[in-house]
Homo-oligomer: A and B are copies of this chain.
Amino acid sequence: MDLDELVRPILDLLHRADDRDARITDLAGPDAHEDAFARLGVPLSLGPGDEPLDLAALTRAIEATIARSVRTLHPRFFNQNFAGADPIAVIGDFLGAALNTTLATYEAAPVFTLMERAVLARLAALAGWPAHEGLFVPGGSFSNLHALQLARLRVDPEARERGHDGAPLVAFTSAHAHYSLKKAVVLLGLGRRALVEVACDERGQMRPEALAAAIDASRARGERPFFVNATAGTTVLGGFDPLPALADLAERHDLWLHVDGSFGASALFSVAQAHRMEGVARADSLAWNLHKMLGVTQQCAAFLVQKTGTLRAAFATGAEYLFQPDKPHADLDSGDLTFQCARRVDALKAWLTWKARGEAGFAARIDHAVALADHAAARIAGDRRFLLAAPPSWVNVCFWWIPPDLRPLAARTPEVDATLHALAPRIKAAMLRGGAAMLGFQPIDGGPNCFRLLFINPATRREDVDATLDILDACGREALA
């Protein structure tokens, strides 16, 4: 099989990453995609009698997949908390797949084990931690899950053997934190009621006085507070919880302090932005996704713990077939530090991208994104077609499109809110049909659906902001019609 032939369309995609004329998506329905693949002789369905495809058909399948998938490399793709994959990271993923191994043991992954340790060591140094342990996990949700499990076992080590006994352990997180915290308390058998959501300010940042009150109220109910999740870079508003104040409270009340920096910890690369992470040196654990701001491909999620020995005590089972203590360099085996068995070598692409760009390159990526967000917010604030939904923060800009007959919008009323809320999905649908820009929408704190620009891709320029706002305005008019 001529592999070069199959790789060609993938390399073409990477070479034309910033092609602004390419459609981002057309959000065809399932039937349209299935018809298109079937017409190419490569139906999406699988059946027992299917003949193996030849090279030409496989190439058509790859080309169709590229043409019909969402183009997250496009400079006007603002839809998720990742964008603009670095081609070096893409090649790192390719290399990792070709060497197809598991990071569970040094024996099976000597170079990758060392790369993982190098990346984690430098991340921990950037956080100002004198000691650390950690590993890459399949996403920030798992980092948060691991943190909660470590914190639970710290206050109730017997839970490992005995299980949760129904004691009212309580974790705190902000109302704007990632939903994985809600999923995690359920999975861990602590129950949804074990998670208290604390109020935020208008930037989506936890109010420390609200946390203090929530802890006191929990204690007054006879519960046992054990954990606080501080979000560094909330998903929707880009808020950074005030880490020093939260660290003070965690210390005072003997809580595990986890910083979910999945989105925002990369601020530490930028001299201008690192202040947002002030206080992270006092965290017990840290989630840091290199696949969000830094352009490393899905997934590349570092989970770090400050106190060494914690992970092994929580997760190790010492499977004899894998972690033979008498084989060479068994002390470097990472598999028993986590829940997973086989682990992808996500550290490789992080390491390769880091080597290719340097910390200055990462910093430039962050600074570019923040500068563009600031520009977009200023631009929107001065444009009567739109209304900012929240003060800008980090790389997030949330705003409404205002229908022409409501401009300039003097005050939001329940009627206006209902209009804005109902318009968002229709505007989005029009935008997806057009395929020239893509951004998401959601309600904030019970308000009407607003749009959210996320600046992450280094190829995005100021003109793209203008173009996207014009596209949004046109889609709004289309949705009204």
Contact = CB atoms under 8 A, between A and B. Distances in A.
Contacts of A101: 69-70, 72, 80, 298
A83 to B, nearest CB: 9
Given A321-B440, A341-B178, A429 B328 contact: yes
Interface stretch (A42-50, A248-256, A383-391): A42-50
A366 B186 CA distance: 39
A51 interface: yes
Interface residues on A, range: 35 or more
A111 to B, nearest CB: 5
Contacts of A299: 342, 344
B119 A70 contact: no
Nearest to A82: B100
A429 B330 CA distance: 12
Contact of A44 (B29, B34, B52, B115): B115
Contact of A341 (B57, B179, B315, B440): B179
A144 to B, nearest CB: 10
Contact of A193 (B162, B185, B332, B355): B162
A114 interface: yes
Number of copies of chain A assembled together: 2
A109 B107 CA distance: 36
A429 to B, nearest CB: 6
Nearest to A137: B138
Contacts of A109: 69-70
Contacts of A28: 110
A268 to B, nearest CB: 11
Nearest to A184: B339
B46 A187 contact: no
B452 A321 contact: yes
B359 A10 contact: no
Contacts of A344: 138, 298-299
A100 to B, nearest CB: 4
A66 interface: yes
A419 interface: no
A199 interface: no
A141 to B, nearest CB: 5
A193 B79 CA distance: 45
A179 to B, nearest CB: 4
B178 A190 contact: no
B162 A98 contact: no
Interface of A: 1, 3-4, 6-7, 10-11, 13-15, 25, 27-30, 33-34, 42, 44-48, 50-53, 57-58, 61-62, 64-66, 68-73, 79-80, 82, 85, 87-91, 93-102, 107-112, 114-115, 118-119, 121-122, 138-142, 145, 149, 152, 159-166, 178-180, 182-194, 235-236, 291, 297-299, 315, 317, 319-322, 324, 326-329, 332, 339-345, 348-349, 351-352, 354-361, 425, 428-429, 432, 440-443, 449, 452
Given A7-B7, A13-B98, A102-B298, 10 more contacts: A28-B110, A29-B328, A71-B99, A139-B343, A159-B186, A164-B190, A178-B341, A179-B322, A183-B317, A188-B188
